[in-house]
């Protein structure tokens, strides 16, 4: 067993001995790793953890002559130079690392070795740090607190992703349109709109969807489920957007959307968008019989009735 000391609590885990990641504690018969709760890194000696903290507090004085990276000590610069010299190079994929222990950890990706095992669910991991983060699922510990709201997270990655809500950062950009996203998973889901991939198939009809949420919403057609209830009249809806539209049209007189080209106001953003299209000469409704185009849907419906006897 191992005890991971976080400064506030200890986590007991099982591991296989690995001289590259774990060393004996000199004053105890238990093996220990020191975990910085601030920086989420693990160290075999407390002194190494303190040295690492200096990276975040001291100015970067030593510059690499081959790239733009800077370091606080000559030692860290020397380790970094090993990457450029290919001293520790993976023979499988060619990646280079700063030291032998980092290369040893990397090689587990190729070998499939996972020496760190969770004592609760037996799930195994390549890195000790991954096990530490996983163990919080069982302990319920959430040490990463958002400095701008009350949300807390069990993993540093969760906090980093959440912070984009406050910063507005959207680093994942679609190369086929102008849209950008705060999470890679959202971008992957968006890409299906371009590729046409629809992996989520309804087992009750032939419809398929590019997003799981689309399938979940569609299933209400078959189940009749209407989970969204109007608090003012108790009418129920299968989609949250339908409920919001109902409240806006039936129970509200607010018209917060203003036309930039005139004095007209609208209850919904979609109505405003449609109206602005009129100024631009847009005719979004097309007749499938003669290709005539119309500004309003009711104009198209009237045309279909008169010219093509459709709708009688």
pLDDT in tens, 11-31: 444 444 343 343 333 344 444
Q: Provide the pLDDT for residue 240.
A: 86
Give me the residue label for tokens 């409240």. Answer: 247
Residue 201 pLDDT > 90, yes or no? yes
Q: How many CB atoms lie within 10 A of CB 206?
A: 6
Q: Across residues 256-261, what is the average pLDDT?
A: 82
- Backbone phi and psi for residue 162, each to the nearest 5 degrees, phi listed first: -60, -35
Domain 2-139 carries which CATH code? 3.30.160.60
Looking at residues 249-268, what average pLDDT do you find? Answer: 80
pLDDT, position 263: 81
- 15 phi/psi in degrees, rounded to 5: -155, 155
What's the rounded mean pLDDT across residues 55-80? 82
Longest pairwise C-alpha distance within the chain: 94
Structural domain 144-194, CATH architecture: 2-Layer Sandwich (3.30)
What pLDDT score does 17 carry? Answer: 39
Q: Boundaries of CATH 3.30.160.60 in the chain?
A: 2-139, 144-194, 257-308
Supply the pTM of this predicted model. 0.42
Residue 141: both structure tokens together: 């510990």
206 phi, psi to nearest 5 deg = -90, 0
Average pLDDT over residues 240-258: 81
Mean pLDDT along residues 37-61: 58
CB of 35 closer than 8 Å to CB of 4: yes
**CATH code reported for the domain at 257-308:** 3.30.160.60
Question: pLDDT, tens digit, for every residue of 73-103?
Answer: 899 999 999 999 999 999 989 999 999 999 9
Q: What is the pLDDT of residue 105?
A: 93
Q: Is 95 helix (H, G, I), strand (E, B) or coil?
A: coil
């Amino acid at each position: 067993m191992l005890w991971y000391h976080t400064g506030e609590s200890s986590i007991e885990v099982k591991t296989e001995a690995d001289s590259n990641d774990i060393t004996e504690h000199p004053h105890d018969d238990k093996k220990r790793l020191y975990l910085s709760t601030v920086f989420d890194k693990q160290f075999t000696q407390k002194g190494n953890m303190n040295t690492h903290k200096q990276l975040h507090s001291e100015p970067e004085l030593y510059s690499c002559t081959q790239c733009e990276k800077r370091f606080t000590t000559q030692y860290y610069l020397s380790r970094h130079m090993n990457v450029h010299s290919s001293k520790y190079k993976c023979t499988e994929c060619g990646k280079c690392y700063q030291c032998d222990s980092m290369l040893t950890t990397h090689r587990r990706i190729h070998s499939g070795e996972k020496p760190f095992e969770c004592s609760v669910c037996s799930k195994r991991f390549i890195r000790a740090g991954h096990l530490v983060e996983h163990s919080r699922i069982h302990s319920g510990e959430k040490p990463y607190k958002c400095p701008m709201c009350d949300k807390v997270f069990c993993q540093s990655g969760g906090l980093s992703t959440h912070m984009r809500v406050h910063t507005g950062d959207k680093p994942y950009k679609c190369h086929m349109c102008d849209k950008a996203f705060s999470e890679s998973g959202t971008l992957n889901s968006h890409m299906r709109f371009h590729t046409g991939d629809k992996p989520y198939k309804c087992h009750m009809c032939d419809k398929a969807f590019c997003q799981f949420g689309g399938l979940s919403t569609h299933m209400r057609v078959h189940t009749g489920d209407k989970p969204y209830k109007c608090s003012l009249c108790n009418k129920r809806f299968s989609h949250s957007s339908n409920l919001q539209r109902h409240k806006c049209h039936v129970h509200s007189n607010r018209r917060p959307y203003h036309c930039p080209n005139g004095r007209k106001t609208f209850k919904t953003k979609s109505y405003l968008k449609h109206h602005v299209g009129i100024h631009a000469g847009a005719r979004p409704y097309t007749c499938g019989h003669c290709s005539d185009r119309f500004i309003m849907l009711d104009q198209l419906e009237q045309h279909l009735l008169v010219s093509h006897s459709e709708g009688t």
